[in-house]
Structure 1
Amino acid sequence: MREEWVKVWKEGAIGRIELNRPQVLNALNRQMVAEIVDALTAFDKDQDIGVIVLSGAGRAFAAGADIDEMAYDTPVTLEKLDQFSDWDRIRTIHKPILAAVHGFALGGGFELVLSCDIIFAAEGTMFGFPEVKLGVMPGAGGTVKLTKAMGRAKALEWLWTGEMFSAEDAKAVGLINHIVPSELLLEETLAFSQKLLKQAPLALRLIKDTVNKAVDYSVFDAMQAERKNFYLLFASEDQKEGMKAFIEKRRPNFKGK
């Protein structure tokens, strides 16, 4: 697919994806979401890429979905489009996805943020789900992920009022990881990416898999998944290298094998 609404490039072992509809504050249309997911999938399969960073051009990360595109949809047209199948594919990405968020992350833009693994937000960034003010509700996981992160009562408050909340509020309830000055947003996000690139790629992959399962599984079932992934890593060359390097008091040379 030709990239019309996103920019995609490599910076060493970091895969960069930048939302690029700044004239409409990066409002997410269906093609844009497909382009984002296609880029994520391509980087996930690229052996030279270890971390993926998602950001937005212009004054906002993404100020919501493209309302003009969906205003006249019906249940039948939406069923045939099956647009959320693209969103479901984000969950299948094995590599770390970092979000660098600024300005606004609203509606679908906020759902995209919540689909990432580690989230850096610039000071002054605002988050929210304003869908209720349009007579609808989030449909790409917003109600579910917000509730799991914040708890039922607080999630209902934000979803029912449609009000925006600050990066500080988001960080206080564990929705985002870091708040940084706006001029340092990408610098800090990329610096954190470098930390991850020093780790064993297979360990990162299986840790992400286990943590994702822990969100949905019972404690017992999640622990069984953890145990299997722990055992599996002992079949890797990286495990042998990591433990040998520890014994020899040197830095390991991980190869993702």
Structure 2
Amino acid sequence: MTAGALGRWLAGRPELGGTLDADAAALSTHVRAGERLVAALPAGPRRTAEEAAEAARVTEVAREVRQCFLRLHADEVYDALTEGRIVHHRLTELAHAAGERFPGLVPTRAQLDAERALPQAHKEGREIDQGIFFRWLLRSPLAGPHLMDAMLLPTARARVLAAEFRAGGTVDLGSVLLERRGAAAHLTINNQHCLNAEDNRLVDDLETAVDLALLDEKVRVGVVRGGVMTKPRYRGRRVFSAGINLKDLHDGRISYTGFLLGRELGCLSKLLRGLLVDPAPDAFPERTVQKPWIAAVDSFAIGGGMQLLFLFDRVIAEEDAYFSLPAAQEGIVPGAGNFRLARFTGGRLARRIILGGHTIRARDPEAPLVCDEVVPHAALDAAVERAVAELDSPAVAANRRMLALAEEDTDRFRAYMAEFALVQALRLYSADVLDKVARSWATARAAS
């Protein structure tokens, strides 16, 4: 890239403020010209310091133009992609549609496919552009609620499997086994190869299982528990969750829309707010179906596993279990953990847990702030059955719906998720995260 070419491109930055189509065309022309300049450089790891600085400058300015465009046209863009907020697209579908309809606004499917094959440290960071896109959509009081509704609808996979689960009462999704036992749907997490750490497949399987449990009229309570592990250190023991799969993060296999953002707006929101079965604003008697949820925690609930607990109506832990949110030590944001944890623990302890990596053990005095009951391992099954019996009531479902409304305002949650959408995308590609993930991966590889 010559200094003259970069200078001419910078000088050609468009002044936006016209119609949607005119500004979209100007953005596309400028951003795609910048991409051609970057494409002429060597691939990321082979760039000199000067070349890396040039590429970073082009990327920075292109993102400023995208920000300006979305500040002006976010609602118009969303309406164009959803036929005036009639069609509901999930995050990934919406991002792909935006890449086709508004070239240069977000990465195309082909660009993301090319990056998917690369380790995280070798990517161009195109998912940050998706973060900008979703930040502005979620900030909008028109587009944001409609997008959140889209993520509360049953997944296509769950719609296909619903009849099978209703008829047989069991579905093995791969990393989650779903079984109906009496009034309860038991979701057993079986991601044994990584101690039930969360990856793309597990997030998809867990959301599908939650959908199926909520769609089945015979199910009145949901139970989530970790399965029995096969890795030597924990062989024969149950584990609830080891948090995000750092190996997959290192290898570039953690999806932004499918996992980091989609998990919060999809599976986790359904656990709290229920499944949207009728998107009509005047649906009667309710737009969503909700049921109480129980978590049974064996061994540990780390990271995303601990985040899950904030959504459950009853948390039962074995006496040797512990809870932690090490995302700050890993360099990322623990989902909506920052939004929810202080409601349970108070602000001072929440800061110790999130910023300082403080671990709570089931025997600690503060354990009742994050779990309801601590029992010996041998008594966990019986405690779960008692909890199912206690929560198996239509009045419980109605009251937990009202509790959720009182405790977590949807507009405040939407505002949080708007900022999270960009902050987490930036963290995903920050130098300190890439360095920490590389060191964790090297340590794990040496130990295996």
TM surpasses 0.5: yes
Instruction: Return the alpha-carbon distance in structure 1 between the equivalents of residues 397 and 342 of structure 2.
Output: 25
Once the 2 structures are TM-superposed, how far is the Cα of residue 54 of structure 1 from its aligned partner?
0.6
Q: Which residue does 1:205 correspond to in 2? A: 397
Q: 2:175·2:205 contact (CA, 8 Å) conserved in 1?
A: yes
Q: What one-letter code is carried by the residue in structure 1 that aligns with 2:396?
A: L
SS in 2 for 1:116: coil
- How far off its partner does 1:216 sit? 3.0
Contact 1:123 1:181 in 2 (8 A): yes
Deviation per CA, 1:136-159, whole angstroms, max 9, x where unpaired?
2212x1112111111111110111
Match of 2:271 in 1: 90
Residue in 1 that maps onto 2:202: 32
Amino acid at match of 2:199: N
Instruction: Tell me, yes or no, if structure 1 residue 117 matches structure 2 residue 313.
Output: yes
Q: Which entry has the higher C-alpha Rg, 1 or 2?
A: 2
Report SS of the residue matched to 2:294: strand
CA contact (8 A) 1:7 1:17 kept: yes
Q: Say whether residues 1:190 and 2:385 are aligned partners.
A: yes
Normalized per residue, the structure richer in helix is 2
SS at match of 1:109: helix
In structure 2, the CA distance between the partners of 1:51 and 1:80, relative to structure 1 (3 Å rule), is closer
TM-score, structure 2 normalization: 0.44
Q: Distance in 1 between matches of 2:205 and 2:258?
A: 19
Deviation (angstroms), 1:115? 2.1
Work out the CA distance in 1 between the residues paired with 2:295 and 2:374.
Answer: 12
Alignment RMSD, CA only?
2.3
Q: Give the secondary-structure state (helix, strand or coil) at the position aligned to 2:315.
A: strand
Match of 1:62 in 2: 241
Would the alpha carbon gap of residues 44 and 118 (structure 1) be closer, same or farther in structure 2, given more than 3 Å must change? same
Contact 1:7/1:20 (<8 A) preserved: yes
Is 1:145 paired with 2:340? yes
Q: Which residue does the alignment assign to 2:146?
A: none
Q: Retained in 2: the 8 A contact 1:8–1:17?
A: yes
Worse overlay, 115-124 or 29-38: 29-38
Give the CA deviation at 1:172: 4.3
Tell me what 1:99 maps to: 295
Equivalent residues of 1:30, 1:83 under 8 A apart? no
Pair 1:79–1:27, CA change in 2 (3 A): closer
Q: How far, CA to CA, are the matches of 2:186 and 2:322 in structure 1?
A: 23
State the alpha-carbon separation in 2 of the partners of residues 145 and 112 from structure 1: 10
Q: Cα distance 1:170–1:6, how it changes in 2: closer, same or farther (>3 A)?
A: farther
In structure 2, the residue matched to 1:231 is: none
Distance 1:214 1:147 in 2: 15
Q: Is the 8 A contact 1:171 1:177 kept in 2?
A: no
Q: CA 1:187–1:173 in structure 2 vs 1: closer, same or farther (change >3 Å)? A: closer
Measured after TM superposition, the shift of residue 22 of structure 1 is 2.5
Map 1:1-257 → 2, pairs under 5 A: 1=157, 3-58=173-228, 59=237, 60-71=239-250, 78=256, 82-84=261-263, 85-86=265-266, 87-93=268-274, 94-139=290-335, 141-169=336-364, 172-197=367-392, 199=393, 201=394, 203-216=395-408
Letter of the structure 2 residue corresponding to residue 51 of structure 1: V
Q: Which segment drifts farther, 28-37 or 167-176?
A: 167-176
* TM-score where L is the length of structure 1: 0.75
Alpha carbons 2:200, 2:258 under 8 Å: kept: no
Cα distance in 2 for residues equivalent to 1:97 and 1:122: 17
- Larger CA deviation: 63-72 vs 174-183: 63-72
Secondary structure in 2 matching 1:53:
strand
User: Counterpart of 1:35 in 2: which secondary structure?
Assistant: helix
CA distance in 2, matches of 1:214, 1:134: 32
Deviates further, 97-106 or 204-213: 204-213
State the SS of the aligned residue for 2:273. coil
Give the Cα–Cα distance (whole angstroms) in 1 for the partners of residues 301 and 353 of structure 2.
Answer: 14
Secondary structure of 1:176's partner? Answer: coil
Q: CA deviation at 1:101?
A: 0.4
Secondary structure of 1:28 counterpart = coil
What secondary structure sits across from 1:16 in the alignment? Answer: strand
> What is the one-letter code of the residue matched to 2:240?
F
Identity of aligned residues (%): 24
Structure 1 residues 79 and 47, CA gap change in structure 2 (3 angstroms): closer
CA separation of 1:45 and 1:133: change in aligned 2, threshold 3 A: same
Partner secondary structure for residue 91 of structure 1: helix
For residues 30-79 of structure 1, give each alpha carbon's deviation from its aligned partner in whole angstroms, at most 9, with x where no partner exists: 221221121112111211111111100123110111122223659xx625
How far 1:169 sits from its partner (Å)? 3.5
The Cα of 1:26 is off from its aligned counterpart by: 0.6
